[in-house]
Structure formats: structure tokens, C-alpha cells
Amino acid sequence: MSEQGSTTANEGHQYPPDPELAKTANARPEMKEQGLEEFWGEQGTQRLDWFTPYDTVLEWELPYAKWFVGGKLNACYNCVDRHVENGKGDKVALHVVPDDGPDSLESRDITYAQLQEQVVKFANGLKELGVGKGVPVGIYMQMIPEAVVAMLACARLGAPHTVVFGGFSGKAVAERCNDLEAKVLITQDEAMRGGKTAPQKTNADEGLDAGPTSIEKVVVVRRSGNEIPMSDRDIYLDDLVADVSGDPESCPCEPMDAEDLLFLLYTSGSTGKPKGVVHTTAGYLLGVATTHDLVFDVKEDSVYWCAADIGWVTGHSYIVYGPLCNGVTQVLFEGTPGYPDKDVWWKIIEKYGVTILYTSPTAIRSHMKWGEQYAQSRDLSSIKILGSVGEPINPEAWEWYREHVGAGKAPIMDTWWQTETGHILITPLPGITTLKPGMAQQPFPGVRPEVRDDEGNELGAEETGNLVLTAPWPGMMRGLYKDDQRFRDTYWSKYSDAYFAGDGAKYDADGDIMLMGRIDDVVNVSGHRLSTFEVESALVEHADVAEAAVASRKDPDTGQAIVAFVSLVGDKEGSEELEQALREQVAQSIGKLARPATVIFARDLPKTRSGKIMRRLLKNIAEGEELGDTTTLVDPTVVTDMQKQVSG
Ligand code: WT7
């Protein structure tokens, strides 16, 4: 049987696996039959190089797991050094594509041997600043190779990194560094995006200088090379590494305990400040390497491209640790989908012969909007596997992706996971799964999901409930930094025996899982996770704002969009200028991607007599839906005024 192509979105359409692919696929159906410790234990022995072998695969004391207990290893050794030692030093690790695209004179290749030398030098430089095992380091950079090198250099030294997305504000950087008491921050002079420069180091300074900071030294990577203000706190990377050795023996990889901290990554929760998600060394590395290999069917000659940003977990797991642990050749693109031309992505695929593309539904929808002519004008025949991540993918985008990027035949891996899970947990597998557009479908081997109602009952087919995981997996978070209680409250209190993911889900009659989006106050804008609470906090920082509440609505481009409801102090009136000022306020405080798409000014927010904001109503208003019961409101006319503003 051959696979059928389709040009139209067709719900209910299924695509059986290609038998040819099934013959050579890395994933084997029998893996699903293995016990979870058997499966992960086998992978752990085969895939990682250990300085000291582990004694026990898993020690599980809910909610904390320990994987590969007793083992010692180093993530950088597994991602870089061992490939060089195994004779792959000349293999390209990174095809570096700068902002202005693959034709740029600045595009270049970095081999594994070159990567090793750069990492060793960076690590030796960091050592001079007092960085070593257990000393946290902040990273605030764009998609340039030095960002990857910086992360690996930290891993080499055993210094946990915390990467702050380069598009976030300096304030966000300062808060996260202070939380960790990081003394060193690595940044770059300027960002290059869409042909323009944007301040990066100066943004960081603004955040650091706004209050007390733990940061004592800022390492600045030159990217634009333009003059920027430098102080005694700052040192250019070039100067830091001018006299250090690049010989791996000058800076051996620190032997780390399997459960030693590898990195922290802050992510938005439904309340309070961002959560510092803790990831440790062995389980995480094994989880990302195994999933990367089996989900994307990685071969020795694969050319892989994950178009995410290293500032998010996708970049950590599927640009840095997973692919490099697997010794793959990959594309690292600094830029955006539409610059210098709308066909830049397809040019990259053509030039480097990309075989695996991993991106977000939002990016696919942008390309879809621009039209298929751009993809059609390039040779994309190298593509074998496509991946999607970050938000549910609508079937129309799925079909377009398969048809126009995958030549009507490449299988799409719709991968569900989270910052907290560390790696992919629900996904089809190439050569095994019969694909259904818009569904992540199946647990990865060794993963045990369930769908439950609020009372804890397991639900059957077509019943929507909460997604939970009933057994541990290697890359699972090892808590929230210094906040055991919040960790337990957020993930382990809804059900006493399972991890609560915060996503709605249902099984279909075939036992495939469909993810239905967040059920908490987390908003997903273009696959970027934000909390309504954070945006509200940013809005009330403006002097004219008395109160703010934030909801989301569906958006054809970004998946979800932020709608802000704002009441003003005194007799201040809403205006276009104020709307702009508020959006700017949010950009300054969090980052541009958190800017509300719509601002609605209100005399008051809809409150019950006990003073509680009725968020359900705000959601209805934002979505332009019928309102339910409003009789409990103090002033029902508040909502009718708001509705008028939405319908314009
Ligand atoms: C949330 C996690 C996974 C890395 C990037 C985002 C949503 C993610 C899917 C998918 C449906 C998805 C969920 C999840 N999500 N992938 N394939 N289908 N929803 O990581 O920022 O931690 O966000 O993204 O709602 O809980 P994150």
C-alpha cells in the first residue's frame, strides 16, 4: 500500500505509514511492549558514554524521580568530545545561517572539532571568572553559534545555565539571574533580526541597573560589531579567550552525578512569578537523545533543522542537547521566516539538503498565508520527516505542511511536551503510526498517559478531560528551583498519584490522543508560553491603570492572542495613544511577544458581589461568544459596554 496525498484539509483523513520507511526506521514497534525501566535502561546504556556506570535505572518517590542512580557523566562530553574522539571531528555540527540568509557571506560551517575548540576556550574563559561546578550562569542571546557554545561550555564545567529568551526584557533577565544568584551573564552586543540591529547588551544593562543585581561580570559576544557602551563590569568574549587554550585536555569535562543540575529554565505559570524548572544531567540527556533519534528517524547523513529559539525548551532539547548528543549535522538559523525573502526557509532546505524540519504551527501558518509559490520555487525533495511543536496544529496547516513542504508524502510528527517534561512524550513514530492530522496521538515508548475527569476517574473515548502521566520519565523536571511547595501544588496535588500537565485532552475510538489546549491561565501565543497574571502585572505598572485582567482569544495566525481588559484611574479616558502606551509597557516589562493584541477599556471589570473578577465572562467577551449568566454581577452594563468595543 502506498501513501495517499491530499491537497485539501480533510478531517478524519488518515495516512498509513510508508512500508519502505517502516523497514529502516529507528523506532521499532516492540519498544512499546517493553517495561519502562527496561526500555529506558537499555537506551541509557547504549546511547550515553558514562565516566562511571549507573547502578539503578530508577528510584521513584513521587514527586521526585532519580534516574541512572550512581552514574557519572558529562553532557558536553556526550555532545561534543566523544564525537571527535570517535573520528567524527570533521563532520559538520552546525551550518550557520545568519539573519540575511544562506547566500550571505557570513554563512559558514562549524565542524565537531571546531565546536570542541570553541567550547573549550569559552569554558577556560569562564573559569577565569570563577565559573565552575554548581555556579549558575545567565545567558541572554540570539540564535548565534556562540549561544550554543556558551551552553555547552557551562555543561562542560558543571555550571548550570539559565537561558533567558533574547526577545525578553532586561528586567526579565535581571529577575531570573537574581533568583539564582548568578554572578556571570553572557550576552551579545546587538541582535540582528530582519536586517535590523536591536540592542541586546544595553537591554540587559537596563534590567541589571534598575535595582540590586547578583551579576558581577557580563561577557559580551560581538555580533554586529558596532560600538556599544561598555563598563568595568563588562568584558568582550574575544578578550576573555584571547590567551586561553583550546586544547580539550586544558579543560576536562567535569564528571557530574546523574542527578546533578544541568540547567534551569524559567517558564510562565498561571499565577505568580515565573517558575524555575529544574533539569538534571543523565535522565534529561538520555530523554532528549532517545526521542530526537526515534521521532525524527535520525541517520548518519541526516541534515536536521529545528527552527525554534534556544531561549525556549525546544531549543535546549532539540537544537542543543538532543541533536548534538546524536552527533547530527544541523542548520542554525539566526533569522525570521520572512527575511530577506519569503522563500528564505526553502532556500536553506535546498542549499543544505535538509532532511528533517521541526517547527511550530504558527510558522507553518505564516508560510501558508504567504502562499505555496515560495516553497514550490525551491527543491525540497531532500525532506524526509517533518515535525510540529508548541501548540495544537490545525488540520489545514498540517495538510499544507505535508503537501507543500513534504511533497505530499513526508510524515508529520506532531509532538506534545512541555518545558517541565524536558522531552517529547506524546507523538507519532515514523514508519509505525497511522497519522491523523491535528493529533499528537501516541505515547512515546515508556510513557504512560491517561485522561481523567476532575474527580480522578479515567475517561473513555471522546470524553474530554485532563491529561496526566501516571509513571515517571527520564527528562521530567526535578522540581521548581527552591520552591518544593509550589512544585507539589502545581503538578502533583490535583491527583495524588499522577503528574497533572495542565492540558485538556481526549482519546478517540482508536486510542489516539488529541490535545485540546491549556486548561489554566496560561496563554500560548505563537507557541510561546505566557501567563495572564504576568501580563496583568505589567499593565498595572502603568500610572493610568487601576485594574487589569487578561484573557485570550483564538487567532488564525498566532493560535491564541492576548486581550487585555483595563479600568483606568480617576476619570482618565481610554484612547489610541494610551492603548499604544500600554502595549509598550508590556513590551518593556516582559517582551514584545506579550503585547496585547486588543486592549479594552472599561469603567470597571466584571465582578461578583464578593469582588471576584469573573474571568469566564472575560473569556466569552474576548472570543465574541454569547455570555452566560451575568446576574451575579454588581454592574451588568459593564460587560455590554465591553462587548461593543470588541465588535467595534
Ligand atoms: C504547552 C507547553 C513543547 C515545547 C514548546 C512549548 C502546548 C506543546 C503541543 C502539541 C498541542 C502542545 C501545551 C503544553 N503544546 N506542544 N504538539 N499539541 N499542544 O513548551 O512553553 O512549556 O508549553 O504547549 O499546551 O502544555 P512550553
Within 8 A by CB and 6+ apart from 558, the residues are 362, 525, 526, 597
- At 27 the pLDDT is 98
User: Residue 563 — φ and ψ, nearest 5°?
Assistant: -115, 125
598: exposed, middle or buried (Cβ count in 10 Å: 0-12, 13-18, 19+)? middle
Reduced to 3 states (helix: H, G, I; strand: E, B; else coil), residue 432 is coil
Ligand 1 pocket, 390 CB below 6 A? yes
Closest ligand 1 atom to Cα of 427: 17
Torsion sign, CA atoms 465, 470, 472, 477: positive
Which regions of the chain are under pLDDT 50?
A: 1-10
d(CA 200, CA 500): 36
Closest ligand 1 atom to Cα of 502: 26
Torsion sign, CA atoms 566, 275, 522, 415: positive
Within 8 A by CB and 6+ apart from 542, the residues are 581, 582, 585
> Do 193 and 99 touch, CB atoms closer than 8 A?
yes
Tell me the residue ranges of DSSP E strands in 449-586.
449-452, 465-469, 499-507, 513-518, 522-525, 528-531, 545-555, 559-568
d(CA 621, CA 619): 5
Query: What are the cell numbers at 141?
Result: 542571546
Region of residue 339 (phi > 0: left; psi between -120 and 50: alpha; otherwise: beta): beta
Query: What are the cell numbers at 457?
Result: 476517574
Q: How many CB atoms lie within 10 A of CB 284?
A: 27
Region of residue 448 (phi > 0: left; psi between -120 and 50: alpha; otherwise: beta): beta
Closest ligand 1 atom to Cα of 522: 25
CA of 523 to the centre of ligand 1 (A): 11
Q: What is the dihedral of CA 346, 321, 279, 200, to 10 degrees?
A: -60
d(CA 566, CA 638): 12
Secondary structure in 3-state letters for 122-148: HHHHHHHCCCCCCCCEEEECCCCHHHH
Q: What is the dihedral of CA 365, 369, 373, 376, to 10 degrees?
A: 10
373: exposed, middle or buried (Cβ count in 10 Å: 0-12, 13-18, 19+)? exposed
Ligand 1 pocket, 415 CB below 6 A? yes
> Do 195 and 340 touch, CB atoms closer than 8 A?
yes
Cross-strand pairs, 356: 304, 385
- Ligand 1 pocket test: pick from 417, 426, 433, 442 the residue with the most ligand atoms within 8 Å of its Cβ: 417
Give the Å distances, CA to CA, from 416 to 160, 390, 397, 422, 562. 26, 7, 16, 11, 22
- At 11 the pLDDT is 53
Closest C-alpha residue for ligand 1 atom 20: 418
Reduced to 3 states (helix: H, G, I; strand: E, B; else coil), residue 452 is strand
Amino acid making up residue 326: N
- At 4 the pLDDT is 39
DSSP 206-249: HHHHTS--S--EEEEE-SS-------TTEEEHHHHTTT----GG
Ligand 1 pocket, 522 CB below 6 A? no
Q: What is the dihedral of CA 58, 62, 64, 68, to 10 degrees?
A: 0
Torsion sign, CA atoms 326, 424, 65, 313: positive
CA of 572 to the centre of ligand 1 (A): 39
- The one-character DSSP state at 250 is G
d(CA 199, CA 205): 10
- At 629 the pLDDT is 76
Ligand 1 pocket, 161 CB below 6 A? no
d(CA 91, CA 113): 8
First to last CA, the chain: 53
Query: What are the cell numbers at 593?
Result: 511577544
> Do 378 and 346 touch, CB atoms closer than 8 A?
yes
C-beta contacts of 564-567 below 8 A and 24+ residues apart = 564/535, 564/536, 564/539, 564/596, 564/598, 564/599, 564/600, 565/600, 565/602, 565/605, 565/618, 565/621, 565/642, 566/539, 566/599, 566/600, 566/601, 566/602, 567/601, 567/602, 567/603, 567/604, 567/605
Pairing of strands 385-389, 356-359: parallel
Q: How many CB atoms lie within 10 A of CB 647?
A: 8
CA of 394 to the centre of ligand 1 (A): 14
CA of 528 to the centre of ligand 1 (A): 9
- At 605 the pLDDT is 87
CA of 600 to the centre of ligand 1 (A): 28
Q: What is the dihedral of CA 268, 270, 273, 276, to 10 degrees?
A: -50
Give the Å distances, CA to CA, from 472 to 28, 89, 475, 513. 21, 36, 9, 19
Closest C-alpha residue for ligand 1 atom 7: 391
Cross-strand pairs, 97: 333
Closest ligand 1 atom to Cα of 440: 17
Task: Tell me, rounded to whole angstroms, the distance of Cα 93 from its chain centroid.
Answer: 21
Secondary structure in 3-state letters for 176-197: HHHHHCCCEEEEECEEEECCEE
Ligand 1 pocket, 469 CB below 6 A? no
Reduced to 3 states (helix: H, G, I; strand: E, B; else coil), residue 331 is strand
Closest C-alpha residue for ligand 1 atom 19: 391
- At 272 the pLDDT is 74
Amino acid making up residue 549: A
> Do 418 and 287 touch, CB atoms closer than 8 A?
no
Ligand 1 pocket, 419 CB below 6 A? yes
CA of 415 to the centre of ligand 1 (A): 8
- Ligand 1 pocket test: pick from 284, 359, 388, 416 the residue with the most ligand atoms within 8 Å of its Cβ: 416
Ligand 1 pocket, 389 CB below 6 A? yes
CA of 316 to the centre of ligand 1 (A): 14
H-type alpha helices, 446-531 = 484-491
> Do 606 and 539 touch, CB atoms closer than 8 A?
no
CA of 515 to the centre of ligand 1 (A): 9
CA of 91 to the centre of ligand 1 (A): 32
- At 524 the pLDDT is 92
